[in-house]
Amino acid sequence: MNPESPLARLLTAPVRPGCLRWIGLRPARRAPMLAVEEAALRPGAGLEGDRWRGAATGGRQVTLVAAEHLAAIAGYLGLQAVAPDRLRRNLVVAGLNLPALKGHRFRIGAALLEYSGECHPCSRMEEEFGPGGYTAVRHHGGITARVLEGGAIRLGDAVARI
């Protein structure tokens, strides 16, 4: 894409930072998530205390979902709210449209991350929410990221595109 095109300029326009609202660790497969107020991100390892065990260069080291999408998913399911641990994502961010991070690096607290893809729902969403759970989460499941520089993250930290 021509970097001078109107679309390229729109895609690289400034983005208002979001805010880290929830941090969840998955200590083991299918174990209840642990909500914490702070955590450490490590390059090639994701969140300390999380069960993720992919390749050190893997793109799914950390998963993020927008708080606004939790509200949308709840609406699609006819619920008042959906708790973040039900989606099993690591981080909930408010005030930032996560697809705006595509092709970019971003900071949360002291850590530097890089967008690595969409976080698609799995069939477990039917198990968690009942019939229609998978469809409710489609295109609202958030994103995946890899950790480039580790550091501490805390609730309330800014989530800012670089």
Q: Does 57 map to a domain?
A: yes
Q: Does 93 map to a domain?
A: yes
State pTM to two decimals. 0.93
Q: Does 87 map to a domain?
A: yes
**What is the DSSP secondary-structure string of 85-143?**
GGTT-SEEEESS-GGGGTT-EEEETTEEEEEEEE----THHHHHH-TTHHHHHTT-S-E
Q: Does 5 map to a domain?
A: no
Is residue 123 within 8 A of residue 131, CB to CB? The reply is no
Question: What is the tally of structural domains in the chain?
Answer: 1
Mode of pairing for the β-strands spanning 46-47 and 158-161: unpaired
Position 70 scores a pLDDT of 97
Confidence grade of residue 21 (pLDDT, cut at 50, 70, 90) = very high
How many angstroms separate the CA atoms of 45 and 111, rounded? 13
Q: What CA–CA distances, in Å, run from 2 to 9, 35, 42, 74, 162? A: 9, 43, 35, 39, 20
CATH number of the domain at 21, please: 2.40.33.20
Q: Is the pLDDT of residue 113 over 80?
A: yes
Confidence grade of residue 6 (pLDDT, cut at 50, 70, 90) = confident
Confidence grade of residue 149 (pLDDT, cut at 50, 70, 90) = very high
- Could you list the residue range(s) of the whole structural domain that residue 152 is in? 17-161
The two tokens of residue 9 are 């300029």
Q: Does 106 map to a domain?
A: yes
Q: Does 8 map to a domain?
A: no
Q: Does 2 map to a domain?
A: no
Position 92 scores a pLDDT of 98
